[in-house]
Amino acid sequence: MPAAPPPLIPTASTALKLLGQRIRAHRKALRVSATAAAEAAGVSRVTLHRVEKGEPSVAVGAWANVMAALGLMWQVNPSYGDDDGEAKDLSQWLPVRVRLADYPQLKSLAWQVHGTDELSLVEALDIYERNDRHLDRDAMSERERALLSALLVAFGRKSIGHV
């Protein structure tokens, strides 16, 4: 029988659910079955399911095994408050360089950039900001939306256009 979950503050509960969702999405993107992932992590399929749901009563070792089996790493990032007192989640990673091939909307906006396949974070945000009116938000992948959101938070911008 699983242990009773500890009482959680709302931000911790949300963070666990988000982490579980990201673990599941990563497993799905790798096209790894739940059975295979559970076996590789040394946990039951039920425990894997509980990790992916973000349940707080799952032992931290099980979380670590699942993440390691899927090639994920733990990372601790501070969250910073904005003017409204809301905490900003900076758990999204930011690459050192942004590969244009990985972000189709950015690539289409950066048509004038020649001789490079990568941009600095500042260059990427600058292109998004300068060409906001041409940005097709409906065509943006979830990954590209996450990049743009992380860039805005990292550089202290509220938003560009309707983002």
Tell me the per-residue pLDDT of 4-24, one tens digit each, with 9 for 90 and over.
766 888 888 888 888 999 899
Q: What are phi and psi of 84, to 5 degrees?
A: -90, 0
46 shares its domain with 101? no
What pLDDT score was predicted for residue 90?
45
Query: Across the chain, what does the average pLDDT equal?
Result: 82
- Which two tokens mark 104? 């189709």
Distances (CA, A) of 6 to 12, 23, 92, 133: 11, 21, 26, 47
Q: 157 or 38: which carries more pLDDT confidence?
A: 38
What pLDDT score was predicted for residue 82?
44
Q: Is the pLDDT of residue 162 over 80?
A: no
Count structural domains, the chain: 2
Task: Quote the pTM value.
Answer: 0.48
19 shares its domain with 57? yes
Does 51 reside within a domain?
Answer: yes
Q: Of 39, 69, 99, which marks where a domain is finished? A: 69
65 shares its domain with 85? no
**What domain range is 38 assigned to?**
10-69
What pLDDT score was predicted for residue 51?
95
Q: 80 or 130: which carries more pLDDT confidence?
A: 130
> Whole-angstrom Cα distance, residue 55 to residue 76?
19
Sorted by sequence, the CB contacts under 8 Å of residue 59 that are 6+ apart come out as none
Mean pLDDT of 145-160: 82
Does 3 reside within a domain?
Answer: no
Distances (CA, A) of 143 to 14, 25, 42, 99, 134: 20, 12, 30, 12, 19
Q: Is the pLDDT of residue 64 over 50?
A: yes
Q: Of 49, 69, 89, which marks where a domain is finished? A: 69
Query: Residues 46, 62, 8, 77: is their CA dihedral positive or negative?
Result: negative
Does 163 reside within a domain?
Answer: no
